A and B are shown apart, each in its own frame.
Chain A
Amino acid sequence: MTSAASNSNQANIIEIRDLVAHYGSRQVLNSVNLDVREGEIMVIMGGSGSGKSTLLRHVLALEHMTSGTVRVLGVDLGTATTAHLADLRKKIGVAFQGGALFSSINVERNVMLPLYELTDLDPMQMRIMARMKLQVVGLAGFEQLMPSELSGGMIKRAAFARAIAMDPRILFCDEPSAGLDPAVASAIDDLILGLRDAMNMTIVVVTHELDSAFKIADRITVLDQGDVLFSGTPEQLRNHTDERIQNLLNRRPQDDTIDPDDYLRRLTGTGDNPSMVL
């Protein structure tokens, strides 16, 4: 029954079966099936609001699913005890979409916090580990800043550093490079590849950036309004004939040319009376 039964080097480290999720009465995920294999980089793509973050929250056991099963590292999240969950969570790292840095402590302490709370390292070791991770994401020298003093991109990188603080077996990143300048974004991509190669880390990345997705992904899953539209290798995705997928691939935000007339129409043409906005 447990993952040990199917212990090849391609063992599924995450198994999602028929996952249905609601926010209130609105169904956000419709029977999602997804496997993530040990040591691979799985990229999840899809339009805004398609349910990527929601899927991630379910894999992290932050929400109660309506139905279905989710197994992470052999632990069934639906039936796991608190102790099992706590144990599991030491093996995963998460960089949230908005960073979710602790606003009352500085950057270095943010990265140190998991080490401080979950390990027996002495303070100097923790500090060295934290500084190493910050160095890796290019935040050396910013250790003492408070989260409110960081730019958006710096927050993302600090969150990434915190996510890898414990050298997790699985790393989840919700849009790690959105809003970063191209050089840093590409450095994050290299970092993700490096973590997989050097530590055999399994990494799940949510991203909108097509170039980045094709650069790092071993496999890609495309979500659309709560459905898995596609799951497979980047090569298969490129050659896929489904129109919705081709739309997604060709709709590169960076290459969008804006038609001035259309733009003006979009700005002025909503149904509401603009004088009543407030």
Chain B
Amino acid sequence: MTSVFERSPTIRFLERIGRGVARGLEEIGMSAGFLVESLYWLLFGHGQRQPVRPASIFQQMMDVGIRAVPIIGVLAATIGVMLAIQGIYTLRTFGAESRVTIGIALSMTREFAPLITGILVAGRSGSALAARLGTMKINQEIDALRVMGINPVRFLIAPALLGCVVMVPTLTFFSDVVGLWAAGVFVGMDLGMSMVSYAEELGRILTPDDVIHGLGKSAIFGMLIALIGVVNGTLVTGGAEGVGRCTTRAVVQSIAAIVVTDMVFVFVTTR
């Protein structure tokens, strides 16, 4: 009896992969669904007398954005200084350390600010979003919303999505400013370059394109963080332990998605 259903390890392995892929595709499908539905409510909610409330969008922006400012500031400054140190060290081998600004400016705006901001928001807000939705699901709060005739996507997901898509680029811009400033301070101390000439050089080097490249990426990061948090939150089953699992999963997936998207983005736009 059992031998009929006994499968070889290879088959089992392939099965596992298949199930994983199917689940992944399903989750991508869910994300797309949430994205479209959120856009629908943001655009047409008013006509349906189910508006996405500015107050809840504002609340999300506070949570995702304003409360992250101190830690993002610290991280950006640290990275700016680190870039300056590494840049000067590398260029000194050619005696070209006075050209360090170009490296700092481009790496910070195009790569480090969006990446570090995305990863931080994924850890702070993506996980919080997954945990909040997951807890609401197991407490039947989502059911309660539904039976009241309040659409959970409009009420919970659209504000979070908009909050992330707006605030991650905003925070990225803030990291740009802080990171470049901190790097400038270090360059000034190390090479004796004045802050004014550093700023002038930044102005010569940086094009709007560089900044927009970074901000555009981070808007996508924001969207990914929100959608991954939402999908994991709504997939929670089985109590507090399930919430913990999905929260972890949300963070891991968002960071992976951010890094991969970054790579693709760079590959497509920067050659």
Interface on A for B, CB 8 Å cutoff?
57, 60, 62, 85-90, 92, 94, 96, 98, 100-104, 113-114, 117-118
Nearest chain B CB to A64 CB, angstrom units: 13
Do B141 and A103 touch across chains, with their CB atoms under 8 A apart?
A: yes
Q: Which residues of A contact B58 (CB under 8 A)?
A: none
The CA-CA distance from A95 to B102 in the complex, in Å, is 63
The CA-CA distance from A96 to B141 in the complex, in Å, is 9
Q: Does B181 contact A (CB under 8 A)?
A: no
Q: Which residues of B contact A118 (CB under 8 A)?
A: 148-150
Do B147 and A117 touch across chains, with their CB atoms under 8 A apart?
A: no
The CA-CA distance from A113 to B151 in the complex, in Å, is 13
Do A62 and B143 touch across chains, with their CB atoms under 8 A apart?
A: yes
Nearest chain A CB to B234 CB, angstrom units: 14
The CA-CA distance from A89 to B139 in the complex, in Å, is 20
CB closest residue in chain B, given A166: B148
Looking at chain B's contact residues, is the secondary structure mostly helix, strand, loop, or mixed?
Answer: helix
Nearest chain A CB to B164 CB, angstrom units: 18
Do A62 and B146 touch across chains, with their CB atoms under 8 A apart?
A: yes
Q: Which residues of A contact B151 (CB under 8 A)?
A: 86
The CA-CA distance from A87 to B136 in the complex, in Å, is 24
Do B148 and A100 touch across chains, with their CB atoms under 8 A apart?
A: no
Sample 10 A-B pairs with CB under 8 A, ordered by A number.
A60-B146, A62-B146, A86-B149, A89-B147, A89-B149, A90-B149, A102-B136, A103-B136, A103-B141, A117-B155
Nearest chain A CB to B122 CB, angstrom units: 22
1/0 per residue, CB under 8 A from A, across B130-150: the answer is 001001100111011011111
Do A94 and B147 touch across chains, with their CB atoms under 8 A apart?
A: yes
The CA-CA distance from A92 to B149 in the complex, in Å, is 9
Do A100 and B149 touch across chains, with their CB atoms under 8 A apart?
A: no
The CA-CA distance from A104 to B146 in the complex, in Å, is 17
Given contacts A57-B143, A86-B50, A100-B139, 14 further A-B contacts (CB under 8 A): A88-B149, A89-B146, A94-B144, A96-B140, A100-B141, A100-B143, A101-B141, A102-B136, A103-B136, A104-B132, A114-B149, A114-B150, A117-B150, A118-B149
- Number of B interface residues at 8 Å Cβ cutoff, please give it: 16
The CA-CA distance from A60 to B144 in the complex, in Å, is 10
The CA-CA distance from A104 to B140 in the complex, in Å, is 14
Nearest chain A CB to B52 CB, angstrom units: 11
Do A103 and B148 touch across chains, with their CB atoms under 8 A apart?
A: no
Instruction: Count how many pairs of residues, one from A and one from B, have CB atoms less than 8 Å apart in the complex.
Output: 55
Do B148 and A89 touch across chains, with their CB atoms under 8 A apart?
A: yes
**Which of A87, A98, A104, A117 is within 8 Å of B148, CB to CB?**
A117
**Which 10 residue pairs across A and B have the least CB separation, nearest first?**
A89-B149, A100-B140, A100-B144, A94-B147, A86-B149, A114-B148, A117-B150, A60-B147, A96-B140, A90-B149
CB closest residue in chain B, given A98: B140
**Which of B132, B136, B144, B149 is within 8 Å of A96, CB to CB?**
B144
- Residues of B138-179 at the interface with A, using a CB-CB cut-off of 8 Å, are 139-141, 143-144, 146-151, 155
**Which of B135, B143, B146, B148 is within 8 Å of A113, CB to CB?**
B148
Nearest chain B CB to A273 CB, angstrom units: 23
The CA-CA distance from A104 to B141 in the complex, in Å, is 11
Q: Which residues of A contact B148 (CB under 8 A)?
A: 89, 94, 113-114, 117-118
The CA-CA distance from A122 to B1 in the complex, in Å, is 70
Q: Which residues of B contact A98 (CB under 8 A)?
A: 139-140
- Pick the most buried of B132, B140, B141, B144: most chain A CB atoms within 10 A of its CB: B144
The CA-CA distance from A85 to B151 in the complex, in Å, is 11
Nearest chain A CB to B136 CB, angstrom units: 8
The CA-CA distance from A90 to B147 in the complex, in Å, is 8
The CA-CA distance from A271 to B269 in the complex, in Å, is 65
Nearest chain B CB to A16 CB, angstrom units: 17
**Which of B50, B144, B147 is within 8 Å of A102, CB to CB?**
B144
Q: Which residues of B contact A96 (CB under 8 A)?
A: 140, 143-144
Do B143 and A102 touch across chains, with their CB atoms under 8 A apart?
A: no
Nearest chain B CB to A171 CB, angstrom units: 11
The CA-CA distance from A252 to B29 in the complex, in Å, is 50
Do B141 and A102 touch across chains, with their CB atoms under 8 A apart?
A: yes
CB closest residue in chain A, given B149: A89
